């Protein structure tokens, strides 16, 4: 087989390589060696970059998770407050302790919130009450007597929000508050 026949069977890259002057071939080889040397020197670079980026990324991810939990608590709080205020508005003449009726409705609507951390305040026909009970001797006296048809009953519930992660709390005095007014039926 002649030299020209061998060249026709070679790939175009090999043909170029054999046809190129020696100086060009030497330059290509030295460039390939430099690229290989650089790649060998950068073996641990990815691990170092990972070590620098991961604490920031973890902090960001955990911050989003903690904020999501606080937002969920707020949504549950507002929904349960709305349900409890509706229960209060229709309980006229049915209970001697409208505050306890509201609290039990709230606890049923928001079972995942810590009950001991909740605070309740009510305004019934202009009279303010607070706590989990405002018992009356009958449905026409005290808090139960203040449930007057057509008047406004207002319920305010507060719950502490905890945004703490990794020992840091960016909003240490944060309190979630939901306030709803309903017309007594």
Residue 172 has what pLDDT? 86
Mean pLDDT to the nearest integer, 5-31: 64
Residue 120 has what pLDDT? 98
Mean pLDDT to the nearest integer, 2-18: 62
pLDDT at residue 34 greater than cutoff 70: no
- Give dist(CA 25, CA 23) in Å, integer: 5
What percent of the chain stands above pLDDT 90?
A: 64
Most confidently predicted of 55-59, 65-69, 80-84, 143-147 = 80-84
Phi-psi domain of 166 (left: phi exceeds 0; alpha: psi -120 through 50; beta: other): left
157-182 pLDDT tens trace: 999 998 888 888 888 889 999 999 99
77-127 pLDDT tens trace: 999 999 999 999 999 999 999 999 999 999 999 999 999 999 999 999 999
Task: Identify the bridge partners of residue 129 per DSSP, sorted by sequence position.
Answer: 122
Closest CA to 171 of 65, 59, 77, 66: 66
pLDDT class for 13, splitting at 50, 70, 90? low
Closest CA to 123 of 89, 166, 96: 89
Residue 103 has what pLDDT? 97
Residue 157 has what pLDDT? 98
Mean pLDDT score of the chain, rounded to an integer?
87
Alpha helices by DSSP H, 44-184 = 45-89, 98-109, 142-145
């Amino acid at each position: 087989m002649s030299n020209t026949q061998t060249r026709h069977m070679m790939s175009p890259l090999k043909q170029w390589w054999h046809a190129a002057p020696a100086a060009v071939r030497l330059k290509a080889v030295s460039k390939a060696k430099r690229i290989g040397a650089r790649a060998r020197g950068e073996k641990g670079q990815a691990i170092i970059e990972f070590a620098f980026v991961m604490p920031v990324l973890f902090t960001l991810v955990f911050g989003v998770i903690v904020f999501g939990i606080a937002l969920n608590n707020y949504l549950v709080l507002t929904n349960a407050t709305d349900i409890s205020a509706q229960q209060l508005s229709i309980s006229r003449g049915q209970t001697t302790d409208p505050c306890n009726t509201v609290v039990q409705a709230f606890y049923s609507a928001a079972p995942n919130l810590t009950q001991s951390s909740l605070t309740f305040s009510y305004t019934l026909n202009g009279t303010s009450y607070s706590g989990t009970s405002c018992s009356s001797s009958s449905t026409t006296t005290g808090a139960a007597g203040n449930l007057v048809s057509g008047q406004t009953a207002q319920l305010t519930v507060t719950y502490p929000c905890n945004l703490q992660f990794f020992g840091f709390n960016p909003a240490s005095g944060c309190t979630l508050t939901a306030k709803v007014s309903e017309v007594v039926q």
